[in-house]
Amino acid sequence: MCMNSNFSTFVGLTALGAYVPSEIVTNDDLAKRGVDTSDEWIQSRTGIKERRFARADEFTSDLAIGAVNDLIKRYGENVLAGVDMVIVATSTPDALFPQTAALVQNHFKLEAGAFDLLAACPGWLYALSAAAAYTRSGICKKVLAIGGEALTKILDWSDRTTLVLFGDGACAGIVEVVPDGYGFKSFVLGTDGEGAKHLNMRCMNSKLPDGSLLSEKISMNGREVFKFAVRVMHTATKQAVEQAGMTLDQIEQFIPHQANYRIIDAAREYLELPPERVVANVDRFGNTSAASIGLAMREAIDDGRIKDGSDLLLVTFGAGLTWAASVVRWHEKTF
Ligand code: UT7
């Protein structure tokens, strides 16, 4: 497991954009579409009320481009000046290749390298850690780190337990050198491949180590993932805070992966955090996997919960089974 906080150059997020498709699908809408479920069941088990569905002709690259357009709208065209690397964290790329990041690079005509990163729901935090390493080492100066998912395209409509959880969306952050004291203070990155069987999807004719063929759609053992999630959310949080040389009471906002309100609440209780220090919007967007933390963080910046200099804890879990956590001091730049 990687755990690092020994940083000599300060790098961090300086801008954040977000995008969700316009179609809102409520729990009742799912029932109307023939799913044997109810608003009461979904809300009581997950806290989710609605999620966004991408149009049939809208793919992860379109959502990613939407999030970058939001960056431009908020910060001006200069926000992209000097971007020399594009990373798209996604489990739902438009194609196996070319990489979705290349489609984003081409759309904005960036003079940049581009690659996709697959680390499931923690993908965006892994992308931020890669972006931090690139910018801190000097290999890159300015990285566009995107988390984007069109998960509703890979739903198994015969599995009502899993399909009600997911939604589509994207976030886009800029990572570069920041003034001293700001930026990333720690990263915790871990994986336990023993849990691969609990959350997966086939890619061509892929098999699990025991030889069993994987499903062509998302397949999940919800109970196992739930137990893993609750455990890892609070252990990774504690490790990231400790690595940053801080204590939990110094963290102003805790931004967990938006998978299920019960998981968020269980982690909150373990960590003894008051609800006002925990950002949650899973009720309106469901689980958007690699996009979820960025979408939640953008909302909390917009409503004033996150301010310049706020110390934040980002923590996430997902397929792999994988987890990631980071402490970051937010610094929004004018471009
Ligand atoms: O980023 C990836 C993260 N993945 C997750 O966060 C998933 C974590 N896991 C979970 O959130 C929960 O396990 C679920 C929400 C997926 C499921 O909740 P659960 O309490 O583990 O439900 P269950 O699968 O044990 O099912 C309980 C009951 C069953 O009925 P019986 O056997 O008790 O009569 C299911 O058939 O609920 C039934 N059920 C449903 N009923 C209405 C399952 N899905 C549904 C549904 N609507 N959609």
Q: Quick check: helix, strand or coil at residue 331?
A: coil
Q: Binning pLDDT at 50, 70 and 90, where does residue 2 land?
A: low
Q: What pairing do the DSSP bridges indicate for beta strands 311-318 and 322-329?
A: antiparallel
In this structure, the residues whose C-beta lies within 6 A of any atom of ligand 1 are: 37, 41, 45-46, 121, 160-161, 164, 222-223, 225-226, 229, 259-260, 263, 287, 289, 318
Q: Which atom from ligand 1 is nearest to the alpha carbon of 160? A: 48
Would you say 237 and 313 are in contact if contact means Cβ atoms under 8 Å apart? yes
For the segment 190-209, the average pLDDT, to the nearest whole number, is 82
- Structure tokens given for 280: 């949650």
Task: Please tell me the pTM assigned to this model.
Answer: 0.95
- Cα dist. 87→61, 197, 200, 234, 235 in Å? 12, 27, 22, 28, 27
- 49 vs 207, more confident: 49
Question: Ligand 1 centroid vs 87 CA: distance in angstroms?
Answer: 33
Nearest residue (CA) to ligand 1, atom 44: 161
- 198 vs 18, more confident: 18
Q: How far apart are CA 12 and CA 33, in angstroms?
A: 43
DSSP string over 30-66: HHHTT-S--HHHHHHHH---EEEE--TT--HHHHHHH
Q: Which atom from ligand 1 is nearest to the alpha carbon of 46? A: 15
Closest CA to 22 of 172, 218, 151, 167: 167
Question: Ligand 1 centroid vs 221 CA: distance in angstroms?
Answer: 9
- Listed in sequence order, the DSSP H helices in the chain are 27-32, 39-46, 60-75, 100-107, 123-137, 160-163, 222-243, 261-270, 282-285, 292-302
Query: What pLDDT score was predicted for residue 58?
Result: 95
- Cα dist. 136→6, 84, 131, 133, 302 in Å? 11, 14, 8, 5, 28
User: Starting at the edge strand that comes first in sequence, how are the strands of the sheet with 85-89 ordered?
Assistant: 11-19, 169-177, 143-149, 85-89, 113-117
Q: Quick check: helix, strand or coil at residue 316?
A: strand
Question: Ligand 1 centroid vs 203 CA: distance in angstroms?
Answer: 25
Which residues are CB-neighbours of 296 under 8 A, at least 6 positions away?
255, 258, 279, 280, 281
pLDDT 10s digits, 236-245: 999 999 999 9
DSSP 79: G
Nearest residue (CA) to ligand 1, atom 38: 161
Q: Which atom from ligand 1 is nearest to the alpha carbon of 162? A: 16
Nearest residue (CA) to ligand 1, atom 16: 222
Q: Is the pLDDT of residue 1 over 80?
A: no
- Sorted by where each starts, the structural domains of the chain and their CATH numbers stand as 2-177 (3.40.47.10), 183-329 (3.40.47.10)
Question: Ligand 1 centroid vs 42 CA: distance in angstroms?
Answer: 8
Q: Is the pLDDT of residue 318 over 80?
A: yes
Question: Ligand 1 centroid vs 161 CA: distance in angstroms?
Answer: 5
Query: What pLDDT score was predicted for residue 330?
Result: 97
Q: Quick check: helix, strand or coil at residue 204?
A: coil
Number of Cα atoms under 13 Å in the Cβ half of residue 45: 15
HEC sequence for 111-122: CCEEEEECCCCC
Nearest residue (CA) to ligand 1, atom 10: 222
Q: Which atom from ligand 1 is nearest to the alpha carbon of 262? A: 11
Query: What pLDDT score was predicted for residue 119?
Result: 96
Phi-psi region of 329 (alpha: psi -120 to 50; beta: other; left: phi over 0): beta
pLDDT 10s digits, 50-75: 999 999 999 999 999 999 999 999 99
- Residues acting as catalytic residues: 121, 257, 287
